[in-house]
Chains A and B, each alone.
Chain A
Amino acid sequence: MPHATAPELIRNFCIIAHIDHGKSTLADRMLQLTGVVEPRAMRAQYLDRMDIERERGITIKSQAVRMPWQVGDDAFALNMIDTPGHVDFTYEVSRSLAACEGAVLLVDAAQGIEAQTLANLYLAMENELEIIPVLNKIDLPAAQPEKYAEELANLVGGDPDDVLKVSGKTGEGVEVLLDRIVERVPAPVGDAGAPARAMIFDSVYDTYRGVVTYVRVIDGNLNPRERIQMMSTRATHELLEIGIISPEPIPTKGIGVGEVGYLITGVKDVRQSKVGDTVTNAAKPAGEALGGYSDPKPMVFSGLYPIDGSDYPALRDALDKLKLNDAALNYEPETSVALGFGFRVGFLGLLHLEIVRERLEREFDLDLISTAPNVVYDVTLEDRTEVKVTNPSEFPGGKIREVREPVVKATILTPSEFVGTVMGLCNDRRGSMQGMDYLSEDRVELRYTLPLAEIVFDFFDQLKSRTRGYASLDYETAGDQAADLVKVDILLQGEQVDAFSAIVHREKAYDYGVLMTAKLKEIIPRQQFEVPIQAAVGARVIARETVRAMRKDVLAKCYGGDISRKRKLLEKQKEGKKRMKNIGSVEVPKDAFIAALSSDASSGKEAKDKKK
């Protein structure tokens, strides 16, 4: 019974797993076994709400489901808090973990642990969660449960025999797992008499209800029609509805210590209900907020432009709508000589970028060009003025004292045969090695510090292709460092093409210049005059290609029977001119920009392929 459940009978847990290791399928089985979802209402990956999540098999937004589970005479309430499974959402993961006392570490029995799982596992261990190691997919012919049980036991400590073996697909072992959760995960502890303190671990915008906020109560309780207060902003709201999810929302008379539930206050923007913030009672506020709150910080930026310039207002409206549901999304209008009007958009990471872009294209039917993603640079000029650069074309010229770039701590898991290859890649990308451990005989964990900019530029694709897909990567931000960075501009007939400017390490400038000029030479149609394509650092040209002048543009033969055809061709050509962009006097088809930019954003291309 919500609101009346003794903390001793509550278990809050999450599942830590890699993207395709079967977390959602296991969750589905739990929903069925506990009777929360009728078999006939069951659909695959019940908890993944958005289409994109369902299609890509990943979970972006966490939710919490309350499930009853009887052990002996006691009726327990299990709250399963679903965590996002990707590196971009580390902060959300950390808040979800903070709402739990235990974590199921779920690993594919045919693949072993992956880097992201490892990172989240460490996060859970830092939060002092009880870890329950579980191998999934034991029904697969390729499963090697003994081998990976050993690996898990080494990681979390304990006996390999303690590692549970389940199949989310067949349901085998899932009951034992539920019993194990009750047995091992500590009951929540809190002060029922203290002023209310509940931590927000997720908030979601719903078209009909406004923002739905998911909380875990630490102390006291929350009740309908109270005024609540957000401790970070001191903003107060009336609690219109409070309840639990099981698996659909069920209003209750309130939620108490250790319980997990949702709040509805009628606010329309997730920014008013921030993940990590503490909710308290406005009339009887707590003195101190719960720890761990921070604002989401965009790490990766990209320019988004409508291919059809007249879609600009539609893009703005679409971003405004997405923002309601995505506290991490931020954007400002920007203008590009090459691409027209668009927005510079900040993202948590590359996946976040792809998800946003895909939602804009799919849900709002927009055709977009996105510029190559870049990170934020802090530039200090000679006169000590500081400039924050989110768009490479705005990198200041003149005397620069220092440029700082964000760095990440990266964890890479790879079969030992690829260790040399991976180290070579990290070296190329200006990485510095922090450590290396053998997880088992043939699997190695490498720890590197790397500039985020290097990761953003096709690192993941390179890692995958050089290890035949076996290596996995996770990273977390780790401050910044000074670096010898320069801006490479691309000039068409002396005119800078802003969309192609990039900030790269001085030693990579030449490679980038050669790559881009060669690519553009292939793409830019011949003009009536010679078009030099140059890559330049400041005033110094580092690479050059030339599009030779077009010498012939005439249909030799034009007699009676050719006239209609020829006129129609001309009309078509004139129509085509409207899809041209002028860079100085050079006419460049918009498609050329798309082609030049899309081959860079290789991860974006991958997302496109998946869509088809």
Chain B
Amino acid sequence: MPALPDGVPVPDDGTLPPWVSDAGPDGVARPRDGAFGVYVHVPFCSVRCGYCDFNTYTAAELGGGASQVEYATTALSEVDLAARVLERAGLTPRPVSTVFFGGGTPTMLPAADLARILAGVRDAWGLAPGAEVTTEANPDSVTPESLRTLADGGFTRVSFGMQSAVPHVLATLERTHDPRRVPDVVRWAHDAGLEVSLDLIYGTPGETVGDWRASLEAVLATGVDHVSAYALVVEPGTKMHAQVRRGALAPPDEDDQATKYELADELLTAAGLTWYEVSNWSRDDARACRHNLAYWRGHDWWGIGPGAHSYVAAGPASGTDAGAGVRWWNVKHPRRYASLLVEGRSPGAGRELLTAGEAQLERVMLGVRLREGLDLAVLPDAGRRAVAGLVARGLLDGVAAVHGRAVLTLRGRLLADAVVRELTA
């Protein structure tokens, strides 16, 4: 993962700013509406892929509570800390709406360990009725049995990192799984009662539009109800970055990626999967990933694990020094993470207290990415004045704008960052 943001220190015991409390000026608590999510980062992989900049490690033995066998226990100690910190901060306890295990490769851990962490989350806060519990997985790190164990342990959804159906593209990405296995793992997951999402990457060096079409068709053949498709980004510090720099690989071409995005939207839509976020498509609203929607809607979440980020919005009380929300992130290395928890200290490496302006910018930046769009009423005057031009240039949907929402057109989705800059000018 990229370098952690710059921030201010997190207090040793993880105490949150007083203004996150649910207590109003009168001292009476006003529980918040938004969902509460838990993210669990599992920092292990069998190999590191050339394009990957996530916080992950391939060694099984990191020692000091950070090894794979000890990881569940270590993560659970942060769950305990989280429950204490939130209670002390004056947040009304809420059951967890969504849990998401990401990585790394969460399925590098035994399914039983993942279930044990989930149980700890349930013990701390309870799970809301119909809670969504997702794990990411590699197609080559699951079996029919492990998937059944996950389902039995309370998981409802699995997201497979398929990336491509084309062997030479997978080779460039240094993915080790056999693409022929994907239909099987999808079937096994469905058989176990899990919802399934497939993740794809487009714009890999050497990938033709034909290759990309083949990948999309392979995805659709599995009958999944959810697809994520991401343009490849060559991040600094990755092996692929070095390969591009020395000319061994061609850098991704934005026009090529745009063409592939349009093709993806065309094929997925034709197959009954509609976009609900710039890079996500689902069969219907119920099949959208509610955990990710919570990020984009600005709800609260706690991120467990090394390098994980967390966010808690401000409560109803306000003062001159009150922020609009607090975001923090944990130390990156699993061993340092584990040792802080062993000492009873917060693993937080730093945090930022968002100003109202920053929170507003994030709200626009994230909200615009959704098909539900953004309430135009939250925009500053200059942003609202920009709407007409954006509609005229075919970047925002005119009908939605009339109804008071900023919703991107297909072209607008490809230029979403430019739209955000204009809306927040």
User: Which residues of A pack against B, CB within 8 Å?
Assistant: 528-529, 548, 550-561, 563-568, 570-571, 573-574, 577
Whether A573 and B258, one on each chain, are in contact in the complex, defined by CB atoms closer than 8 angstroms, is no
From B230, B258, B311, residue with most partner A Cβ within 10 Å:
B258
Q: How far is the CA of A568 from the CA of B5 in the complex (A)?
A: 9
* B417 contact from A555, A559, A563, A565, Cβ within 8 A: A555
Q: How far is the CA of A38 from the CA of B424 in the complex (A)?
A: 70
Whether A552 and B358, one on each chain, are in contact in the complex, defined by CB atoms closer than 8 angstroms, is no
Q: Which residue of B lies closest to A527 (CB)?
A: B418
Whether A571 and B361, one on each chain, are in contact in the complex, defined by CB atoms closer than 8 angstroms, is yes
Q: Measured between C-beta atoms, what is the minimum distance from B15 to chain A in Å?
A: 20
Q: Measured between C-beta atoms, what is the minimum distance from B396 to chain A in Å?
A: 13
Given the interface contacts A551-B414, A570-B361, A571-B361, does A556 sit within 8 Å of B309 by beta carbon? no
* B358 contact from A556, A559, A567, A577, Cβ within 8 A: A567
Q: Measured between C-beta atoms, what is the minimum distance from B296 to chain A in Å?
A: 8
Knowing that A550-B415, A554-B413, A565-B5 touch, tell me 6 more A-B residue pairs with CB under 8 angstroms: A552-B414, A556-B231, A558-B295, A558-B369, A560-B39, A563-B362
Q: Measured between C-beta atoms, what is the minimum distance from B252 to chain A in Å?
A: 10
Which of chain B's residues have a CB closer than 8 A to the CB of A577? 421, 425
14 A-B contact pairs sorted by A residue (CB < 8 Å): A550-B415, A551-B414, A552-B414, A553-B417, A553-B418, A554-B278, A554-B417, A556-B231, A557-B233, A558-B278, A563-B295, A565-B5, A570-B424, A574-B421
Q: Measured between C-beta atoms, what is the minimum distance from B5 to chain A in Å?
A: 4
Which of chain B's residues have a CB closer than 8 A to the CB of A567? 358, 361-362, 365
Whether B415 and A566, one on each chain, are in contact in the complex, defined by CB atoms closer than 8 angstroms, is no
Q: How far is the CA of A337 from the CA of B310 in the complex (A)?
A: 48
Q: Which residue of B lies closest to A551 (CB)?
A: B258
Q: Measured between C-beta atoms, what is the minimum distance from B378 to chain A in Å?
A: 16
Interchain pairs with CB closer than 8 A, number: 100
Which 3 residue pairs of A and B lie closest in terms of their CB atoms, listed nearest first?
A: A551-B258, A554-B416, A556-B231
Whether A528 and B418, one on each chain, are in contact in the complex, defined by CB atoms closer than 8 angstroms, is yes
Whether B352 and A570, one on each chain, are in contact in the complex, defined by CB atoms closer than 8 angstroms, is no
Which of chain B's residues have a CB closer than 8 A to the CB of A550? 254, 415, 418
Q: Measured between C-beta atoms, what is the minimum distance from A571 to chain B in Å?
A: 7
**Is B8's CB within 8 Å of the partner chain A?**
no
From B230, B255, B395, residue with most partner A Cβ within 10 Å:
B255
Q: How far is the CA of A178 from the CA of B309 in the complex (A)?
A: 84
Q: Which residue of A lies closest to B55 (CB)?
A: A561
Q: How far is the CA of A551 from the CA of B352 in the complex (A)?
A: 33
Whether A556 and B278, one on each chain, are in contact in the complex, defined by CB atoms closer than 8 angstroms, is yes
In the complex, identify which listed stretch (B68-76, B265-273, B300-308) lies at the interface while the others stay far away: B300-308
Q: Which residue of B lies closest to A568 (CB)?
A: B5
Whether A557 and B279, one on each chain, are in contact in the complex, defined by CB atoms closer than 8 angstroms, is yes
Which of chain B's residues have a CB closer than 8 A to the CB of A528? 393, 395, 415, 418
**Is B220's CB within 8 Å of the partner chain A?**
no
Whether B420 and A552, one on each chain, are in contact in the complex, defined by CB atoms closer than 8 angstroms, is no
**Is B24's CB within 8 Å of the partner chain A?**
no
Which of chain A's residues have a CB closer than 8 A to the CB of B415? 528, 550-554
Which of chain A's residues have a CB closer than 8 A to the CB of B292? 559
B residues 195-253 near A (Cβ < 8 Å) are 229-231, 233
B residues 276-300 near A (Cβ < 8 Å) are 278-279, 292, 295-296
Q: How far is the CA of A570 from the CA of B254 in the complex (A)?
A: 19
Whether B393 and A561, one on each chain, are in contact in the complex, defined by CB atoms closer than 8 angstroms, is no
* B421 contact from A529, A566, A573, Cβ within 8 A: A573
Given the interface contacts A551-B258, A554-B278, A574-B425, does A560 sit within 8 Å of B295 by beta carbon? yes
Q: Measured between C-beta atoms, what is the minimum distance from A261 to chain B in Å?
A: 66
Digit string of B402-425 for contact with A (CB within 8 Å is 1, else 0)?
Answer: 000000000001111110110011
B residues 133-162 near A (Cβ < 8 Å) are none
* A552 contact from B39, B261, B307, Cβ within 8 A: B261
Q: How far is the CA of A538 from the CA of B257 in the complex (A)?
A: 40
B residues 291-333 near A (Cβ < 8 Å) are 292, 295-296, 301, 303, 307-311, 327, 329
* B365 contact from A553, A559, A570, Cβ within 8 A: A570
Q: Which residue of A lies closest to B357 (CB)?
A: A571
Which of chain B's residues have a CB closer than 8 A to the CB of A551? 254-255, 258-259, 414-415
Whether B231 and A564, one on each chain, are in contact in the complex, defined by CB atoms closer than 8 angstroms, is no
Whether B254 and A552, one on each chain, are in contact in the complex, defined by CB atoms closer than 8 angstroms, is yes
Q: Measured between C-beta atoms, what is the minimum distance from A148 to chain B in Å?
A: 52
Whether A560 and B303, one on each chain, are in contact in the complex, defined by CB atoms closer than 8 angstroms, is yes
Which of chain A's residues have a CB closer than 8 A to the CB of B420? 570
Which of chain A's residues have a CB closer than 8 A to the CB of B369? 558
**Is B366's CB within 8 Å of the partner chain A?**
yes
Whether B309 and A563, one on each chain, are in contact in the complex, defined by CB atoms closer than 8 angstroms, is yes
Q: Measured between C-beta atoms, what is the minimum distance from B39 to chain A in Å?
A: 6
* A556 contact from B230, B301, B303, B395, Cβ within 8 A: B230
Q: How far is the CA of A566 from the CA of B361 in the complex (A)?
A: 10
**Is B2's CB within 8 Å of the partner chain A?**
yes
Q: Measured between C-beta atoms, what is the minimum distance from B262 to chain A in Å?
A: 9
Q: How far is the CA of A574 from the CA of B425 in the complex (A)?
A: 7
Which of chain A's residues have a CB closer than 8 A to the CB of B329? 561, 564
Q: Measured between C-beta atoms, what is the minimum distance from B93 to chain A in Å?
A: 21
Q: How far is the CA of A558 from the CA of B298 in the complex (A)?
A: 13
Whether A563 and B230, one on each chain, are in contact in the complex, defined by CB atoms closer than 8 angstroms, is no
Which of chain A's residues have a CB closer than 8 A to the CB of B386? none
* B366 contact from A548, A558, A561, A565, Cβ within 8 A: A558
**Is B1's CB within 8 Å of the partner chain A?**
yes
Q: How far is the CA of A305 from the CA of B143 in the complex (A)?
A: 69
Given the interface contacts A551-B258, A568-B5, does A560 sit within 8 Å of B424 by beta carbon? no
Q: How far is the CA of A548 from the CA of B256 in the complex (A)?
A: 13
Q: How far is the CA of A171 from the CA of B76 in the complex (A)?
A: 88
Q: How far is the CA of A153 from the CA of B65 in the complex (A)?
A: 93
Given the interface contacts A552-B258, A570-B365, does A561 sit within 8 Å of B1 by beta carbon? yes
Q: Measured between C-beta atoms, what is the minimum distance from A335 to chain B in Å?
A: 25
Which of chain B's residues have a CB closer than 8 A to the CB of A548? 255
From A555, A561, A574, A577, residue with most partner B Cβ within 10 Å:
A561
Q: How far is the CA of A555 from the CA of B233 in the complex (A)?
A: 9
Which of chain B's residues have a CB closer than 8 A to the CB of A553? 414-418
Given the interface contacts A550-B254, A557-B233, A577-B421, does A564 sit within 8 Å of B361 by beta carbon? no
Whether A570 and B421, one on each chain, are in contact in the complex, defined by CB atoms closer than 8 angstroms, is yes
Which of chain A's residues have a CB closer than 8 A to the CB of B259? 551
Q: How far is the CA of A568 from the CA of B352 in the complex (A)?
A: 12
Q: Measured between C-beta atoms, what is the minimum distance from A563 to chain B in Å?
A: 6
Q: How far is the CA of A573 from the CA of B303 in the complex (A)?
A: 28
Q: Which residue of B lies closest to A561 (CB)?
A: B309
Which of chain B's residues have a CB closer than 8 A to the CB of A565? 2, 5
Whether B424 and A564, one on each chain, are in contact in the complex, defined by CB atoms closer than 8 angstroms, is no
Whether A564 and B352, one on each chain, are in contact in the complex, defined by CB atoms closer than 8 angstroms, is yes
Q: How far is the CA of A570 from the CA of B422 in the complex (A)?
A: 11
Q: Measured between C-beta atoms, what is the minimum distance from B348 to chain A in Å?
A: 14
Whether A564 and B393, one on each chain, are in contact in the complex, defined by CB atoms closer than 8 angstroms, is no
Q: How far is the CA of A551 from the CA of B415 in the complex (A)?
A: 7
Q: How far is the CA of A552 from the CA of B279 in the complex (A)?
A: 13
Q: How far is the CA of A548 from the CA of B327 in the complex (A)?
A: 39
Whether B311 and A560, one on each chain, are in contact in the complex, defined by CB atoms closer than 8 angstroms, is yes
